[in-house]
Amino acid sequence: MKIEQYISQLLYRYQCVTVPGFGAFLTDYQSAKIDEKTHSFYPPKKIISFNPYIKNNDGLLASHLAHEEKITYDVAVNIIQTEVSSWLKMLQELGQVNLKNIGGFILNTERNIVFSPIDQVNFLKESFGLSSFGSPLVKREVYKEEVEILEEKAPIAITPEKRANNSWLKYAAIFVLSVGVTGGIGFKLYKNYEEKIAQETLLVEKNVQQKVNAKIQEATFFIDNPLPSVTLTVPNSDVNTPYHVVAGAFRIEENAEKAYQTLLRLGFKAKRISKNKHGLYPVLYGSYPNYAEAYKAMKDIQKLDNKDAWLLIEELK
């Protein structure tokens, strides 16, 4: 009876399969690999080796053979012994013996058994259905040269940026020039006009800020949960510093005071604002006379202390 098929079945399930009186087949896991020379990909597999010094009967092969052939254990042991005797005789007489789906054995010049496993069978169950395949080499340099040629033939055209129409600035410049000619009275008119321009600029910046605030959630500094986005009106503030960097707005005044004291300890020129129409107590990192200073301070604070800090522009009365 040929017992190779039963040995092969056990190699899928066990790391070591011993053939009593002959030796043991051992399996070892090998990861998937790539052959860079042939551009071939190989799935993970079990590598089979043979140890001729492990010959004691561990009962695994005999029990499996008895179960599959519906025979007794002793009969299975006798069948294995007969088959092993046949293999040894072939090695002595022919110098080689082949086991189907397992590998071949030969005797070297020193009369030792040398095993060569079969490559066509993968005993790793997880790789069932996977086979090796080749992939052509990707020639990236050719594509790179083609792109460089295309870039030389079709240079990128730079379209000048369309600037905003600030026609009122032109008229303001004309007005300033005329004021310089009219003397002292003209200078006073210029100062009044300059104040008007500053107020209009503040109104424009405020309109932009209101659109931004519609998409920003109020940040809470310590305890409260984030609140829905609202537009805040700052009461009793200095009209010379209408730009504010906000640390948070709190439902509970005690929490606002804690945040305020913490900012003072950290060295900020913090401020507290009285309760607004939304029932919130805002806490500020500081207030600034113009948008540029306030925006720079907000960015520095977001980077170093609080990423949720945001900018509030006071509504004009």
- pLDDT by residue for the chain (317 residues), tens only, comes to 788 889 988 988 888 999 999 999 998 877 777 776 776 766 787 888 999 888 888 889 999 999 999 999 999 999 999 999 999 998 888 888 988 888 899 988 888 889 889 877 777 756 655 666 566 666 665 555 665 665 555 454 444 555 555 555 555 554 444 545 445 555 555 556 566 666 666 665 666 565 545 544 444 444 344 443 334 454 445 568 888 899 888 999 999 999 999 999 988 889 898 888 888 999 999 999 999 998 999 999 998 888 888 888 876 55
b vs e for 118-151, b when ≥16 Cβ sit within 10 Å of the residue's Cβ?
Answer: eeebbbbeeeeeeeeeeeeeeeeeeeeeeeeeee
Cα–Cα distance, 167 to 163 (Å, whole number): 11
The token pair at 102 is 């397992």
pLDDT value of residue 148: 60
Pairing label, strands 33-35, 40-42: antiparallel
Amino acid at residue number 177: L
Sheet holding 281-288, edge to edge: 271-272, 281-288, 243-250, 310-313
Rounded Cα–Cα distance for residues 135 and 82 (Å): 48
Q: What's the pTM?
A: 0.39
**What is d(CA 193, CA 188) in angstroms, rounded to the nearest whole number?**
9
pLDDT of residue 166: 57
